[in-house]
Structure 1
């Protein structure tokens, strides 16, 4: 037998061995995969937390036929609103005043009805504060401004108070832990019903945190929610 012939036989045997080993390993992996049992469960964590920041726009309207007089009236009423807010504990740094919006009804694209005042104006004084309770107290007394001839609007989209919760990072770990613990309780219940036991975590997905109003009547109370999705191995 020549050296070349011998080498060919050895090479063929080696290749055959690799193919056989690959086939055997593949069969073993398929067998393991078929025996792998998992369960996917979801765990929920919810909390009601008071808002820690308020953005409170106070909007009022005014009308007049003389523009300088109207501007002076707006400035005077802005000062009255600011004084009201300071009286209820807000600092100047928490109060800002927007540029008034003034409309000339005699402009070409408006109704020039002579029975209506020529100019309409609106102004917004905004409170941005972490004193949410103090803002609540002041809101209850806002009618006092109406007694001074200031027509406060409260239903416009740009004059509704907005309440925020900015401390999410401080409660995230505890809520994730709670959601994961709840998920495991669900998995253990499922395992008990199927005469199995819960093993290690195969994979987990934290899910997104959502923050919304608890209800329409209490926007200063926030509902915080997170759902954890976890895959557990099951064993007999």
Structure 2
């Protein structure tokens, strides 16, 4: 009877030791598993705009409304001939009806003396994928002033766009992910650890901005990936 009690007690002790060992090992494995590092990876690329949009405004003044419309129509036709001679296609040009102001009907005018009663503004819009051609037109269009056409192009209305983001997204995401991994590897080495699997990852938004204010046709594209890796001993 005493012998049986001894073996039972021994079995209980051994079972307790095994259970404690297993618990400690599981706890250590859990703690090891929970060690992690969060890193960011950047991918940045400069590209040239592939689309150029800019409005061309032209003005005329006259005391006769009919003559004013005729003058604006002549100016429009001369501008269209100039653009087409430069190589702009007809489907890259759009225009709206001119905007006419009657100065005598302006309740805020300071006096009753006006040089011309009517002032008209015509509007053409250029939308071209040929950015090089569009830039050339912006440089040359002032020559229309020799024909008596008053041209106005506002710099803040000129738009350079990059529309091929989907074509370079995979490459940039891959680069950002690789840069994040390299940063995580360096951290693991510095902390005497080894890099484990990815615990969590998030993809940042792509941003497109002008590289600088002097070259708005050069765009800088950026994306940042945030990745959390497990660390192992």
TM range (shorter): 0.7 to 0.9
- Give the structure 2 partner of residue 194 of structure 1: 191
- Give the structure 2 partner of residue 150 of structure 1: 149
Offset of 1:154 from its aligned partner? 2.5
1:179-225 CA-partner distances (Å, limit 9, x unpaired): 00011111111112111121111111111011111111111111111
Tell me if 1:232 matches 2:229. Answer: yes
- Give the structure 1 partner of residue 60 of structure 2: 62
Map 1:159-170 → 2, pairs under 5 A:
160-170=157-167
Q: Counterparts of 1:29 and 1:109 in 2: how far apart (Å)? A: 86
For residue 82 of structure 2, the aligned residue among 61, 77, 84 is 84
Contact map agreement 2:103 2:114 (CA 8 A) in 1: no
Map 1:1-236 → 2, pairs under 5 A:
33-35=30-32, 36-111=34-109, 113-155=112-154, 157=156, 160-236=157-233
Offset of 1:116 from its aligned partner? 3.0
Offset of 1:113 from its aligned partner? 3.6
TM superposition score normalised by structure 2 = 0.83
Q: Counterparts of 1:190 and 1:97 in 2: how far apart (Å)? A: 59
TM superposition score normalised by structure 1 = 0.82
Q: Counterparts of 2:114 and 2:155 in 1: how far apart (Å)? A: 25
Offset of 1:69 from its aligned partner? 0.9
Helix, strand or coil at the partner of 2:104? coil
Unmatched 5+ stretches in structure 1: 1-25
Contact map agreement 2:59 2:121 (CA 8 A) in 1: yes
Number of residue pairs matched by the alignment: 210
| Runs of 4 or more consecutive aligned structure 1 residues displaced over 2 Å after TM superposition | 26-35, 154-157
Helix, strand or coil at the partner of 1:233? strand
